[in-house]
Every structure is written in structure tokens, then in C-alpha cells.
């Protein structure tokens, strides 16, 4: 009888072990399937090819370097670089032709105030904008611009915004109701000749074309956002990303931002090699050595918070001088214009 009872117990124990074993295998199988599904979903997201807009300008160096030096690859992201015609960047973002783009911070304020579906994720560098005059113009300060005519590439261009801010900060009227300076639009390539021929008294331009014009015609650089305080501490260029892409691929957007930040830091340390890479790979036209001299006037210290602060300063001043509507709530505009990622390197937050 004891033998039978022992046998029954053993059979029961074996049965329980089999049941538990089957349950364990089943549980392991479910876990593995979930893990595979999760990996597959991540792979689909990671396989998305980020459409990167670029225009071929010198200050876009971090985009070029991130591609050439493997910073995109380091972040595990796939990119397609799409060359955009001048002035089409905002349309390209709005229509989804590109997911990310590179732009002057000041030029983003009004479009974002008017519904551009994008957010800024980091500042890239300071500098870029210059105001040139002829050596015999007699213009030596902001006050000397009263009654003068200034050539600009457009009324939304960063150099135009920069000069209006400088003039307003020095007591020169630039609002519609107290304008003391006349601004005239020319094609960017025509601005140096307009100044040389006396059609205008000054021109506001971006580098490197401003640097080239000053060198070729002997113009004097009167104002320079890379050098003049307090503008030299305010971010000029930035990365902005399409809202839909941000919502659908936040991890990729963050990784893209990190890649650009790291490339920016590399540019700061290696300006001569940077411009040589740009010219050799036909990202930028011109002479590598001359381009390097311009690049060295920029300060490539990537920062998300730095861009946020600079945007706030510029937006408030633009409203004061009538460049964005009085109805715009600037504080909300600042808040809604940024996506600040938690995963950025501490030194770039």
C-alpha cells in the first residue's frame, strides 16, 4: 500500500513538473515573441530615412561634417540629403519634402509665429550677418544711417533683421511710423555691385558672400554679428524639424540633433579641415583657405538652451520694431517653437 501511495505521489509530482515546464516554455515563447515584435517595430522606425534639407552654404558645415565624418552613422540613423533652392526651406518643411533643415534663427521667428509646422531643437553657432559700407561713405556709426538707403536680399532675411535691431538699439527709427532709413531689395548676387555703383549707401549680407564682397571691392565691415556685442553671444543658425516627423519619430529627431551637435563641436576644433572637406566634396564653392578664415569668425558651440534664449531676445525685439504682429503672445511663441530633448549631452543642452 505504501508503495502504491509513493508511486502515486511520484506520478503526481512528475505531472506537476511537466505542467509547470509546459507553462514555463509557453511563457518563454510569449516573451520571445513580444521581444521580436518590439525589435521589429524598432527596426521599422530606425529604417526610416530622414530627409535632410541643405542649401550649400558655408555655415551649414555641421550637416556636411556629420555626413562625411560618420556622426549620423554613429547615431544609427539613415539620412538622405536633399539640395534646396534658396528661399524654399520653409515650403519644403511644410510640404514634407524634407524632415529637417538648417536656418538662421532670426529668419524663423516670423514663420513660426505664422504657423510654420516645425520646432527648433538646437542652436549651432553664432555669427553670420554683416553690414558693409564703402570706405569713403562717411558712415561710421548707427546714427549715420539716418536718411540713407540700404540694400538687402529680402525683408525676411537675417541680415535685414540684424541691421534693424542694431539701428533700433542705437535710437534710429526703423518702424513704419518713424522710419529714418530706407531699405531696398536686390538679388543677393547684385548687392555688392549696387553698393559699388552708389545705388545704395550700405548692404546687409550673410557670410561667406559678405566676406568675399568686402575682400573684392574693399568694403568696410561696419557691423558684424560674430564680433559685436551683445549679438556675438546670440545664436545665429539652428536646426528645425517638421512637427509630424517629431511626433512620429521622436527618437530619430533626438539622435539627429545629437549628431549635428557633435559635428558642430568638431567644426569648432577643425575649421581648416572642415572647409577643405566642404570644397573637396562639393558641398560649398570657393577657396577652402578663404572659407576657413570666415568660418573661424563663427563660434560653433552647439546649445539647445542657448538657441532658446537667443530666440526669445530676437522675437521680443522684432515685435518692438514692428516685424511681428502685436497680437502675437511672444512667451507662448517661444515655448511652442522648441523641442528640448532630455537625452542631449549635458554640455549641449
Q: What is the pLDDT of residues 181-202, one digit of tens each?
A: 999 999 999 999 999 999 999 9
> Using one digit for the tens of pLDDT, what is the confidence trace for 48-97?
999 999 998 899 999 999 999 999 999 999 999 999 998 899 999 999 99
Instruction: Delineate the domains of the chain, giving CATH numbers in brackets.
Output: 49-126+233-337 (3.40.190.10), 129-224 (3.40.190.10)
Q: How far apart are CA 141 and CA 202, in angstroms?
A: 12
Beta bridge partners of 104: 237
Burial 6-27 (b: 16+ CB within 10 A, else e): eeeeeeeeeeeeeeeeeeeeee
Position 38 pLDDT exceeds 80: no
State how far the Cα of 163 lies from the Cα of 129, in Å rounded to an integer: 9
pLDDT of residue 128: 86
Is residue 305 within 8 Å of residue 268, measured between CB atoms?
Answer: no
Q: What are the helix (H) ranges across 118-202? A: 158-169, 191-196
Q: How confident is the model at residue 46 (pLDDT cuts 50, 70, 90)?
A: low
Give the residue carrying C-alpha cell 549696387.
Answer: 194
Statement: residue 302 has pLDDT above 80? yes
Residue 293 has pLDDT above 80, yes or no: yes
Longest dimension (CA), the chain: 122
Residue 1: pLDDT band with limits 50, 70, 90: very low
Q: How many CA atoms lie within 13 A of 335 on its CB side?
A: 5
As a whole number of angstroms, the distance between CA 153 and CA 205 comes to 7
* Residue 238 contacts residue 103 (beta carbons within 8 Å): yes
Rounded Cα–Cα distance for residues 55 and 86 (Å): 7
Q: What is the mean pLDDT of the chain?
A: 87
Locus of grid cell 513538473: 17
| Rounded mean pLDDT, 221-249 | 94
Determine the Cα–Cα distance for residues 149 and 194; give it in Å rounded to an integer.
11
Mark out the alpha helices in the chain (DSSP H runs).
2-46, 61-68, 71-74, 89-95, 105-113, 158-169, 191-196, 209-217, 243-248, 250-269, 271-280, 288-295, 304-320, 330-336
DSSP state of 202: E
Q: Alpha-carbon distance 284 to 288, whole Å?
A: 9
> C-alpha cell of 203?
548692404
Amino acid at each position: 500500500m505504501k508503495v502504491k501511495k509513493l508511486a502515486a505521489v511520484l506520478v503526481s509530482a512528475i505531472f506537476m513538473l511537466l505542467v509547470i515546464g509546459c507553462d514555463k516554455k509557453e511563457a518563454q515563447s510569449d516573451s520571445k515573441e513580444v521581444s521580436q515584435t518590439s525589435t521589429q517595430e524598432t527596426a521599422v522606425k530606425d529604417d526610416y530615412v530622414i530627409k535632410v534639407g541643405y542649401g550649400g552654404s558655408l555655415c551649414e558645415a555641421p550637416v556636411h561634417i556629420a555626413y562625411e565624418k560618420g556622426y549620423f552613422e554613429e547615431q544609427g540613423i539613415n539620412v538622405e540629403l536633399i539640395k534646396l533652392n534658396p528661399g524654399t526651406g520653409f515650403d519644403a518643411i511644410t510640404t514634407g519634402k524634407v524632415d529637417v533643415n538648417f536656418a538662421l534663427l532670426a529668419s524663423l521667428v516670423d514663420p513660426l509665429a505664422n504657423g510654420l509646422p516645425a520646432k527648433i531643437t538646437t542652436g549651432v553657432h553664432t555669427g553670420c550677418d554683416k553690414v558693409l559700407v564703402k570706405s569713403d561713405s562717411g558712415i561710421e556709426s548707427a546714427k549715420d544711417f539716418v536718411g540713407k538707403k540700404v540694400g538687402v536680399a529680402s525683408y525676411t532675411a537675417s541680415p535685414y533683421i540684424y541691421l534693424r535691431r542694431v539701428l533700433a538699439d542705437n535710437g534710429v527709427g526703423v518702424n513704419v511710423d518713424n522710419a529714418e532709413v530706407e531699405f531696398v531689395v536686390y538679388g543677393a548676387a547684385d548687392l555688392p555691385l549696387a553698393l559699388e555703383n552708389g545705388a545704395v549707401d550700405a548692404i546687409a549680407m550673410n557670410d561667406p558672400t559678405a566676406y568675399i564682397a568686402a575682400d573684392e571691392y574693399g568694403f568696410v565691415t561696419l557691423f558684424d554679428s560674430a564680433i559685436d556685442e551683445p549679438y556675438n553671444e546670440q545664436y545665429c543658425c539652428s536646426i528645425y524639424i517638421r512637427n509630424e516627423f517629431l511626433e512620429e519619430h521622436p527618437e530619430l529627431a533626438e539622435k539627429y540633433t545629437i549628431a549635428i551637435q557633435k559635428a558642430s563641436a568638431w567644426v569648432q576644433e577643425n575649421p581648416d579641415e572642415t572647409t577643405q572637406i566642404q570644397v573637396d566634396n562639393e558641398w560649398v564653392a570657393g577657396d577652402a583657405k578663404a572659407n576657413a578664415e570666415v568660418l573661424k569668425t563663427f563660434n560653433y558651440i552647439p546649445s539647445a538652451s542657448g538657441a532658446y534664449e537667443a530666440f526669445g531676445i530676437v522675437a521680443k525685439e522684432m515685435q518692438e520694431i514692428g516685424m511681428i504682429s502685436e497680437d502675437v503672445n511672444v512667451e507662448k511663441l517661444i515655448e511652442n517653437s522648441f523641442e528640448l530633448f532630455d537625452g542631449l549631452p549635458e554640455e549641449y543642452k
